[in-house]
Structure 1
């Protein structure tokens, strides 16, 4: 499995140009502001402020990004505000922040579990109808995911591998006999690997992680995916890391 963050929500170039030199750089510790944190601040404060949304960051960036947290729990005052939002479950304000991932080499079994998460998620999945998986096709045949419980024992792996090879042979033969790919795919297993692009908002991702993380009772593959998604988001938005720890 390979998971890579390929896009995320950003402030518009026009909006940044209007406020960066006057408000953002002077009022943030390193002269920079995290785009997703800024968007979260605008969304949250819009709910409680008489100001227009476009006025909030210029007016309050110094207070929230340039001042220490007033709750004594560390970070900036923005971190205090984000902690409050998570604890009060006012997390609809985090739906304005989205992340797009390339998810590669996961099983169709995982895909069936993943697509049960619909609210806040968008998927574009590699098709077994339009992508051909014969040994002679560009794909070179279908890849497959082997469970750890199979990999750990040579006899289990032998049985599993024989089945995968037999299914590939059956697919190849059906295609050679003129069966269209959309029908020949019926012999492909749950283990067959696929690729997808997934976009999810931060609220939905936090809820997904709480349900699918290791130790939650989730199957190993989707638990692994949840950790990789968390890691990718935390790389670009360290301020979110603590919220993935919440049950």
Structure 2
């Protein structure tokens, strides 16, 4: 069955409830953004005589209440983050992590994704332990149709779709036959195509996600499917932490 890529955010870095309670009890403003509080603590730890615990408590009002001194958008916290990104001191945003639930990614795109190793952790659906026979719980393997096959400028594009889908059905029949003959799932998977879809849970830090987007996003020459993944990851991150959006643009600093 044809599958569509879906990316959802499972979790992301937040400050603890005990820290929030202490912050509020000592006059902190109510709407501190969790990710910015973590990033600010990491950044100022490098340059401040204060302890990490004291930094946001003693400097938070300045950074979160005052308008950006550089004339840019947002607060002094936004200005500091822009400065840090421009200066290249981006190890300080590695403290923010995001965990994604990804489904409908082809094995071909997975091979490209897992080339991004620094700052990424992957738990991928196994074709060895998950059985993809028509009569198994999976109902058979799902697959991804490349955009170029869907949109190719050919005299009869519907024929290309028909050929592709017939091939997927034929592979399913042959996979089922091998399994019926006693071939193990771990060996029968050898005939599954690169178009076969998989599911994964993936965690990455913010620095690595931004780097991934700059290398695989819609302004690059990356394959359409992984561009789509990059865009959906960006959307999930910026929905959770809107201040990060300014760092994803083409050539953004």
Instruction: Give yes or no for TM over 0.5.
Output: yes
Structure 1: which 5+ residue stretches go unaligned? 26-30
1:87 aligned partner: 86
For 1:231-242, list aligned pairs within 5 A.
231-242=235-246
- Identify which of 169, 182, 186 aligns with 1:182: 186
Deviation of 1:13 (Å): 2.1
CA contact (8 A) 1:23 1:61 kept: no
Whole-Å separation in 2 of the counterparts to 1:23 and 1:98: 28
For 1:45-194, list aligned pairs within 5 A.
45-152=44-151, 153-194=157-198
CA contact (8 A) 2:219 2:250 kept: no
1:24 aligned partner: 28
Deviation of 1:149 (Å): 1.6
How many residues get paired?
A: 242
* Structural RMSD (CA): 0.9
Whole-Å separation in 1 of the counterparts to 2:139 and 2:239: 34
Deviation of 1:18 (Å): 1.7
Deviation of 1:246 (Å): 4.5
Whole-Å separation in 2 of the counterparts to 1:240 and 1:113: 24
CA contact (8 A) 1:103 1:195 kept: yes
Deviation of 1:14 (Å): 2.1
CA contact (8 A) 2:147 2:225 kept: no
The C-alpha deviation readout for 1:118-139, integer Å capped at 9, x for no partner, is: 1000000000011000000011
Moved over 3 A (4+): none
Structure 2: which 5+ residue stretches go unaligned? 152-156
Residue 195 (1) aligns with residue 199 (2): yes
Whole-Å separation in 1 of the counterparts to 2:111 and 2:28: 44
CA contact (8 A) 1:4 1:232 kept: yes
Deviation of 1:158 (Å): 1.0
Residue 2 (1) aligns with residue 1 (2): no
Whole-Å separation in 1 of the counterparts to 2:25 and 2:245: 29
Whole-Å separation in 1 of the counterparts to 2:242 and 2:22: 26
The C-alpha deviation readout for 1:213-242, integer Å capped at 9, x for no partner, is: 012110000000000000011111110001
CA contact (8 A) 1:121 1:199 kept: yes
Deviation of 1:20 (Å): 2.2
Whole-Å separation in 1 of the counterparts to 2:68 and 2:137: 56
The C-alpha deviation readout for 1:96-130, integer Å capped at 9, x for no partner, is: 00000001111000100000001000000000011
